[in-house]
Chain A
Amino acid sequence: MNGRSTRRDRIASRLVQLAFLVVLMTLWYLATTKWGVSHLLLPNPARVYDELRDVLGSGEFVPDLKITLTELAVAFALSSVGGITLGYVLSRSQYLIRAFEPLLAGVYSIPIILFLPLYVLFFGLGPASKIALGTTISFFPIVLNTIAGFGYVDRIYVVAARSMGASDFQLFRWVLLPAALPVILTGLRMGFTVALLSILGSETIASLAGLGHRIVHLAEAMETARMFAYIAFAVAIAASLNVIVTMLEAKGRR
């Protein structure tokens, strides 16, 4: 295949993607203006745009965003400190890995969202129950990847470093850490993504404040246009956080 035809292919697929978007928007527009779909179910795109500008302009989103981001930061800090510490301790012995890794992986396969009613009972409707859920859910990918990172470093490197007289700290700094870091960073990214998801989800299910709560509140008030605006806003925030984290991961790998 020569260069020109691949280039033509690429342009064609961009065009199809663009057409897909245009058709979607047109259908949305026609459904709301011509076909009489109730604006309670599907608001007019122009109104959603107006509402979005109003939300962004008035700064109404700031308190909710602050709460959601604080919950996320606390939950992620707790789970990464706890997960990396426990993972490192377990990874120091093959015996501990064989004893506890299956246990952690087993718990990880349960949908942990089931604990949410329990956490609401323990910690109430406020931020504490969201932090608890986000911590629990993001703890598992982090601890499992830390074990995988530190526990399966090729023994030859360890033996070589030791026989050249490396101290414990030198072994950690120059052998174990560089070998394990990419895997741990992947775990941290996965943990971050699920923490964000679970915090938004638990705000949707039972809460007093936060972005998820605002969306539900607007849904219950049947203010669909404003709800669409907030959904777009929340999706944009989540997407940009995920892009930042992925970039940090790629940077840390080098």
Chain B
Amino acid sequence: MMLDAPGTVARMSGAARRAEPPGRRLMRALRRRPGIARLGAIAALFGLWEIAARYWVDPMFLSPPSRVIGAIQTVFQTRGVPAALQITFWELAVAFALSVVIGLAVGLAVGLSRFSHRTFMPIIFLLYGTPQVTILPLFILYFGIGPASKIAFGVSHGIFPIIVTIVAGVQNIKPILMVSARSMGANRWQIFRWVIFPHMIPSFFAGMRLGMTGVLLGVLLAELYVSTAGIGYFTTLFTQNFDPTKLLGLISLLAAMAIVLNEFVRRAEVRFGRWREA
């Protein structure tokens, strides 16, 4: 009888739904799918933007989304923009790869020994906590105004969250697992391969996601600060020319790039972070 109950309810509500007026049925469908309300809100925002840009705001400062979407193609055809996007993408990729490699090495070195953990973690937290934007001019001074300074600045933002999550992941391994592996005669490499490594994977991917956020921030900050060929050059150009259509188009392209990169790393985190639950 208990098993039967949900079915009865479903049948009853099915009958009730057929008797409802269509307006109420729409409301009910909306209630069950919050996604529709979300899309509605997004559409309303875009509508407001369109109206504001067409009728209220000076076209020197804001242009409507309909024109921006059309302008993305013109942005692509502007001389130098595809190359600039490519350069920015490479800066992001190289900075991210370097952050992951260095962060992993430092994180393991610091996390695997109690002594180095106690000694170096305060230093790492201190560096992580300092606002690195204040030393952005130094990066330009040392690495020049080309891609090298953007990569270095991106690494300086991406590396610390990776180190901190790797260390936390290594530290969170239950000591009993290490002890039992050792008592069953595992050597150092075997402990690393079969105990530490699998336990590290979830925090490794969590760190990669945070590191990607940091790298995006660092590279884009440095690009916006000074740039000769990257994307920052064109944002400055479009701003100074009061060309909001192209500026908004370029910003949407960059935002799309950031969303794709973030989503890529987030998917990897979900995919590889789940082994323990399975």
Q: Indicate whether B134 reaches chain A with its CB closer than 8 angstroms.
A: yes
- B117's nearest neighbour on chain A, judged by CB, is A13
Contact B224 A205 (CB under 8 A): yes
Residues of chain B lying within 8 A (CB to CB) of residue A110: 255, 258-259
**C-alpha gap A211/B135 in the complex (Å):** 12
**C-alpha gap A96/B34 in the complex (Å):** 7
Known interface pairs A13-B119, A102-B38, A196-B131; A117-B262 also in contact (CB < 8 Å):
no
Q: Which of B231-278 contact A (CB under 8 A)?
A: 235-236, 238-239, 242, 244, 247-248, 251, 254-255, 258-259, 262
Q: Indicate whether B140 reaches chain A with its CB closer than 8 angstroms.
A: yes
* Chain A 196-225 near chain B by CB (<8 Å), digits 1 or 0: 110011001110000110011001000010
Residues of chain A lying within 8 A (CB to CB) of residue B238: 117
Q: Indicate whether A10 reaches chain B with its CB closer than 8 angstroms.
A: yes
Q: Which of A92-135 contact B (CB under 8 A)?
A: 95-96, 98-100, 102-103, 109-111, 113-118, 120-122
Q: Indicate whether A238 reaches chain B with its CB closer than 8 angstroms.
A: yes
Contact B251 A100 (CB under 8 A): no
Q: Which of A41, A118, A212, A242 has the most CB of B within 10 A?
A: A118
Residues of chain B lying within 8 A (CB to CB) of residue A98: 34
Q: Indicate whether B138 reaches chain A with its CB closer than 8 angstroms.
A: yes
Q: Indicate whether B129 reaches chain A with its CB closer than 8 angstroms.
A: yes
Residues of chain B lying within 8 A (CB to CB) of residue A235: 130-131, 134
Q: Indicate whether A231 reaches chain B with its CB closer than 8 angstroms.
A: yes
Contact A111 B115 (CB under 8 A): no
Contact B129 A20 (CB under 8 A): no
Q: Indicate whether A16 reaches chain B with its CB closer than 8 angstroms.
A: yes
**C-alpha gap A96/B110 in the complex (Å):** 44
**C-alpha gap A231/B131 in the complex (Å):** 10
Residues of chain A lying within 8 A (CB to CB) of residue B258: 109-111, 114
Q: Indicate whether A9 reaches chain B with its CB closer than 8 angstroms.
A: yes
* Chain B 119-131 near chain A by CB (<8 Å), digits 1 or 0: 1001100000111
A194 to chain B, nearest CB (A): 10
**C-alpha gap A207/B137 in the complex (Å):** 14
Main SS of the interface on chain B?
helix
Q: Which interface class (under 10, 10 to 19, 20 to 34, 35 or more) fits A? A: 35 or more
Main SS of the interface on chain A?
helix
- Residue in contact with A197 in the complex, picked from B118, B131, B137, CB distance below 8 Å: B131
Contact A111 B131 (CB under 8 A): no
- B136's nearest neighbour on chain A, judged by CB, is A204
B268 to chain A, nearest CB (A): 15
**C-alpha gap A206/B242 in the complex (Å):** 16
* Chain B 1-41 near chain A by CB (<8 Å), digits 1 or 0: 00000000000000000000000000000010011011001
**C-alpha gap A117/B61 in the complex (Å):** 11
Known interface pairs A235-B130, A238-B130, A239-B130; A219-B137 also in contact (CB < 8 Å):
yes
Q: Indicate whether B189 reaches chain A with its CB closer than 8 angstroms.
A: no
- B122's nearest neighbour on chain A, judged by CB, is A17
Q: Indicate whether B196 reaches chain A with its CB closer than 8 angstroms.
A: no
Q: Indicate whether A183 reaches chain B with its CB closer than 8 angstroms.
A: no
Q: Indicate whether B76 reaches chain A with its CB closer than 8 angstroms.
A: no
B201 to chain A, nearest CB (A): 22
Q: Indicate whether B225 reaches chain A with its CB closer than 8 angstroms.
A: yes
**C-alpha gap A176/B83 in the complex (Å):** 53
Q: Which of B41, B134, B235 has the most CB of A within 10 A?
A: B134
A50 to chain B, nearest CB (A): 19
Q: Which of B86-144 contact A (CB under 8 A)?
A: 114-115, 118-119, 122-123, 129-131, 133-138, 140-142
**C-alpha gap A161/B142 in the complex (Å):** 62
Q: Indicate whether B221 reaches chain A with its CB closer than 8 angstroms.
A: yes
Known interface pairs A117-B247, A121-B239, A205-B224; A99-B134 also in contact (CB < 8 Å):
no
Q: Given A100-B41, A242-B129, 20 more contacts at CB 8 Å? A: A41-B142, A98-B34, A109-B213, A109-B258, A111-B213, A111-B255, A113-B217, A114-B220, A114-B255, A116-B224, A118-B244, A118-B251, A122-B61, A204-B134, A205-B225, A212-B134, A216-B137, A227-B138, A238-B134, A239-B130
20 examples of A-B residue contacts, CB within 8 angstroms: A9-B115, A13-B118, A17-B123, A103-B38, A111-B217, A114-B220, A114-B258, A115-B251, A117-B224, A117-B238, A118-B244, A120-B239, A122-B61, A122-B62, A201-B136, A204-B133, A204-B136, A219-B137, A238-B130, A239-B129
